[in-house]
A and B are shown apart, each in its own frame.
Chain A
Amino acid sequence: MSGDVPKIRLRGLAKAFGEKKVLDGVDLDIRAGHGMVILGGSGSGKSVTIKCILGLIQPDAGTIEVDGRDILAMSRREREELNDRIGMLFQNGALFDSLPVWENVCFKLLAQKRITRAKARDKAAEVLAQVGLAASVGDLSPAELSGGMQKRVGLARAIAAQPDIIFFDEPTTGLDPIMGAVIDGLIVDVVKRLGATAVSITHDMASARRIGDDAAMLHKGKIVWRGPAASLGHTGNAMVDQFARGEREGPIQMELRR
């Protein structure tokens, strides 16, 4: 596989907010059709990295290539076309609270006119079933859902348009263990069935091993390790092993974040 162009290639990605350097030269290749898991302490810049790839945050320096094309140099039009093929689950769900759940789920399909409003309810029910929600949930408003249900609706919305690349920002946080495993299964299935590339952020090691083929660890603005997700916990890299096992003692010291 090493000869192939990676689906996503980051080189020297840097981003600072004011004085604070969040990303400081991130280099990362993400293989097409595989699951990549990004690990890292809270506040290490995982969400910022994904938002840079999505074009929601403008990086200060570095390049981002998707399918070998530099996306920072793309025209607005090309960028929009790329976004049409990308799905995203936001860390907090980011559901539209002015719209019922079914419209949230089918939002992208409706926006791209791939479906009529009349058919959208049925389609939403179908996708909701995949994330373990009853069709009746479709008529509720997001504010009427529990946190875990919101997450699952966010997931349904991210996969409904059958994207080519999907980002999951903490897909299983806030779910019970069984539902977490179901969602992991779903992510694996989406990658297999759609041939999609999935990039997930997670703090849950069991989940990371299930959904990831590859894993990478972000620490102090750089990728400090990358390797097979299956090896997490016994990678031989002291930092990653400490993180994966959740040990207090080790090379990563709890520090006061500024």
Chain B
Amino acid sequence: MGAVALFALQGLSHLVRPPFYGRLFLRHLVEIAYFSLPVVALTAIFTGMVLALQSYTGFARFNAEGAVANVVVLSITRELGPVIAALMVAGRIGAAFAAEIGTMRVTDQIDALTTLSTNPMKYLVTPRLLAGVVALPFLVVVADVLGVMGGWLIGTTKLGFASLSYLKATMDFLQTMDVVSGLVKASVFGFVITLMGCWCGYNSKGGAQGVGAATTAAVVSSSILILALDYVLTEMFFAR
């Protein structure tokens, strides 16, 4: 645990010391943000749809069907958008980073970097961390919009809401804080995902099997951390 924190600090400390690997940062940014779009979009839409349906049946018992739009937008922006996007990215990127860096470790490529006048932390870890912190909020904005659209789709086609009044209810209830807290969460999750991917890969040993183990460890640990930190951050933002 302390070792991971030290690793993270080391990775971050290179942010302020040249040389900077802008090219690598952009490559990882595209890898995370652009190529995760399909998965994040699909999961967000379906989550919004299910949420509308479920909350409708639930609220119908109390004759409070009107609250569906509010519930959907709040749940998506505050919780489900960030968490679902992060879990999807953890599966894709956490695994990919751990596998790539792990392979570099067991084939001496990380040692080779050192002998080639390049700091491996700066070259491999720092650009990835930064890309994660930047990419996740972007993905969460997409997830927020599509999640709400999913709810709206079900609300208007199946649950009999009028299109405009559904959207109005959505906007009326939405507060800046809801979105901002979601985006802050997203950045934290992006950091955690890339950190665990890099850490597990960087410390892997023992050939193909070791790389496989590192990949699994990266996905499992970042998923757990995402959910745990989600609670902590929610408590910080809203429990007052």
Binding site for B on A (CB under 8 A): 51, 54-56, 80, 83-84, 86-88, 90-92, 94-98, 107-108, 111-113, 157, 161
Contacts and interface: CB of A to CB of B under 8 A. Distances in A.
Contacts of A111: 19, 116-118
Interface in B95-134: 100, 104, 107-109, 111-112, 114-119
A90 B111 contact: yes
23 contacts: A54-B111, A56-B114, A56-B115, A80-B117, A83-B114, A83-B117, A84-B117, A87-B115, A90-B111, A90-B112, A92-B107, A94-B108, A94-B111, A94-B112, A96-B109, A107-B116, A108-B117, A108-B118, A111-B117, A111-B118, A113-B19, A157-B116, A161-B117
Nearest to A57: B111
A64 to B, nearest CB: 15
A48 to B, nearest CB: 12
Interface in B168-198: none
A92 B108 contact: yes
Contact of B111 (A56, A84, A112): A56
A51 B111 contact: yes
Contacts of A98: 100
A90 B113 CA distance: 11
A112 B108 contact: no
Given A111-B19, A111-B118, 4 more contacts: A92-B107, A94-B107, A94-B108, A113-B19
A94 B116 CA distance: 12
Contacts of B118: 107-108, 111
A113 B118 CA distance: 11
A253 to B, nearest CB: 29
Contacts of A97: 109
A58 to B, nearest CB: 13
A92 B106 CA distance: 11
Nearest to A90: B108
B91 to A, nearest CB: 21
A51 B111 CA distance: 9
B117 A88 contact: no
A204 B25 CA distance: 44
B114 A55 contact: yes
Contacts of B119: 80
A87 B117 CA distance: 10
Contact of A54 (B100, B107, B114): B114
A250 B19 CA distance: 55
Nearest to A85: B117
Contacts of B109: 94-97
A196 B111 CA distance: 22
Contacts of A87: 115
Nearest to B111: A56
A157 B118 CA distance: 14
Interface in B65-111: 100, 104, 107-109, 111
Nearest to B103: A97
B98 to A, nearest CB: 15
Nearest to B117: A111
Contacts of B117: 80, 83-84, 108, 111-112, 161
Contacts of A157: 116
Contacts of A84: 117
Contacts of A51: 111
A56 to B, nearest CB: 5
The 7 closest A-B pairs by CB, nearest first: A94-B108, A94-B112, A88-B115, A108-B116, A111-B117, A56-B111, A90-B108
Contacts of A54: 111, 114-115
A128 to B, nearest CB: 17
Nearest to A96: B109
A84 B116 CA distance: 7
Contacts of B112: 88, 90, 94-96
A92 B112 CA distance: 11
Among A87, A94, A111, A161: residue with most chain B CB under 10 A: A94
A55 to B, nearest CB: 7
A231 B89 CA distance: 61
A160 B141 CA distance: 47
B19 to A, nearest CB: 8
Contacts of A91: 108
B179 to A, nearest CB: 36
A83 to B, nearest CB: 6
Nearest to A81: B117
A107 B19 CA distance: 14
A84 B19 CA distance: 15
